[in-house]
Structure 1
Amino acid sequence: MTSTSDTSTGGLRDAVADADGNELQGSILERFPVGDPVTITFESVVEGTDAERLYEAYRMNFEPLEELAVLQQCFSREEVLAELSDPAITKIVGWQGRTPVGLGMVTNYLDAVPQISPRALRARYPEHAATDSIYFGILVAVSPEHRGMTLFNRIYLELWNIPATAGGVLVFDICEFNRTAFDTDSLVQRIGSNFPGSEVGVVDRQTWYAAELPHPIPGS
């Protein structure tokens, strides 16, 4: 599961556009207060009922992309629960009371992400590789009833702040549908503007071709 965008990205765009871009002080959460009792915690392991609820939020976010993106976007319950129980992956969990309603996952243990090539990233960023400060953003998902609120933005910024605190680099991917529909090239620049001295750019891109071949070569 390698997408960090969900179908509520428009809400993220609006929230980021309103950010003042000043130097971050303490937790980013202080800059995005909400009226409801929604809190964020950092977890190494999430299991049981909480994990099941977060899987459902994940499924509702990513399942629609299965008809819009060629690369697999929605992974099985077993795969998601395995990542939630893997202590090598940091979970940023949004809670309303005692109910988990949002999730971000990020890791600097690159071998925990089977869809990427750790060797390629270490070769591209050798200084960060030497300090284990290459991070991969696995996903961000928010329960549908919390879309359009600030929770998605809060989780996203806290996720980015983890590699920023380590002076690291964050790598993530976004499918072409979300990239086009939500202008994520501009969006990630606006997110990065919250982090002093940051540089955000495209490091790779996968292009899918389709050849419709109704007839063979004549005479073959």
Structure 2
Amino acid sequence: MADRGAGSPAITVETELDESTVAAYWKLYRETFAELETRAMARHLLHEHEFVEEMTDPRVMKYVARNADGEVVGLSTLTRDLETVPWISPGWWAHHYPEHTARNAVYYLGFTLVRQDQRQTSVMWAMISTIVEMLVAEKAVCGYDYCKFNNEVLRLGPGTEALLHRIADVEVEATDTQTYYTALFSGPPRSS
């Protein structure tokens, strides 16, 4: 197991969360990702009913981080049932990773969040290293995504890659890009 340091949160892997934990995480989820409503063209935030469904769907593993007082301080979601992730194509994964698909070793990381006052602590490290430990044991492939703002401004893609290299022998590759365009119309074509 990766060294998570002193004072690290307790990480549990849960398939279904109780109502009060879901409510606490919904609040934290909104606080963490609210700015993406104006930063990313595609919708990156689940609606509350979608969030509740994911938190109670046993096919989605919830890596729950709690501090010493039992308060929720972080959460990561991970699934091997790609049908639970409506914005990805399970067929793409089966085509590109047939051996992993045959072994049921294809995963998708939905999101990771950490309470604001815990962001400079070991919470993120503890959750991700717990996930990576399992992925390494299974010699799995795991997908995840970032919008342009998170990738280019916050540099989460390179930061995640650096973190993964600290934890495991891993190859990370940007495998697909979705580019959104806008066309701002101001009138009929200009005549020559």
TM above 0.5: yes
Q: 2-side partners of 1:125 and 1:209: how far apart?
A: 30
**Native 8 Å contact 1:133 1:168 kept in 2:** yes
Report the equivalent of 1:4.
none
Task: Please give the per-residue CA displacement for 1:115-137, whole angstroms capped at 9, x wherever unaligned.
Answer: 11111111111111111111000
Q: TM-score, normalised by structure 1?
A: 0.80
Superposition CA RMSD, Å: 1.7
2:62 corresponds to:
91
Q: Structure 2 unaligned segments of length 5 or more: list them.
A: none
- Residue 54 of structure 1 and its aligned partner are, at CA, apart by 1.1
Post-superposition offset of 1:158: 2.0
- Count of aligned pairs: 190
What residue in structure 2 maps to residue 125 of structure 1? 97
How far apart are residue 186 of structure 1 and its match? 2.6
Residue in structure 1 matched with residue 79 of structure 2 by the alignment: 107
| Structure 2 residue matching 1:35: 3-state secondary structure | coil
Instruction: Check the 8 A contact 2:136/2:168 in 1, yes or no.
Output: no
Cα 1:132/1:93, change in 2 over 3 Å: same
Question: For residue 120 of structure 2, what is the aligned residue in structure 1?
Answer: 148
Q: Distance in 2 between matches of 1:185 and 1:89?
A: 23
Q: Which residue of 1 aligns with 2:15?
A: 44
Q: Secondary structure in 2 aligned to 1:194?
A: helix
Percentage of matched positions with identical amino acids: 25
Pick from 103, 109, 129: which aligns with 1:157? 129
Q: Following superposition of structure 1 onto structure 2, how do residues 1-220 of structure 1 map, counting pairs within 5 Å?
A: 27-28=1-2, 31-35=3-7, 38-96=9-67, 97-217=69-189
SS at match of 2:189: coil
Matches of 1:153 and 1:33, distance apart in 2: 9
For 2:140 and 2:92, how far apart are their aligned partners in 1?
16
Q: Runs of 4+ in structure 1 displaced over 4 angstroms?
A: none
Contact 1:50 1:99 in 2 (8 A): no
Alpha-carbon offset, residue 173 of structure 1: 0.2
Amino acid at match of 2:43: Q
Deviates more, 1:188-197 or 1:45-54: 188-197
SS in 1 for 2:45: coil
Q: Distance in 2 between matches of 1:60 and 1:66?
A: 12
| Partner amino acid, structure 1, of 2:144 | F
Secondary structure in 2 matching 1:193 = helix
SS of match in other structure, 2:34: helix
Aligned to 2:135, the other structure's residue is in SS state helix
Q: Which runs of 5+ in 1 are unaligned?
A: 1-26
Equivalent position of 1:21 in the other structure: none
Worse overlay, 194-203 or 56-65: 194-203
How far the C-alpha of 1:108 sits from its partner, in A, is 0.5
Q: Which amino acid aligns with 2:20?
A: T
State the partner residue of 1:3: none
Hey, what's the Cα distance between the residues in 2 that align with 1:192 and 1:99?
26
Q: How far apart are 1:48 and its partner, in Å? A: 1.2
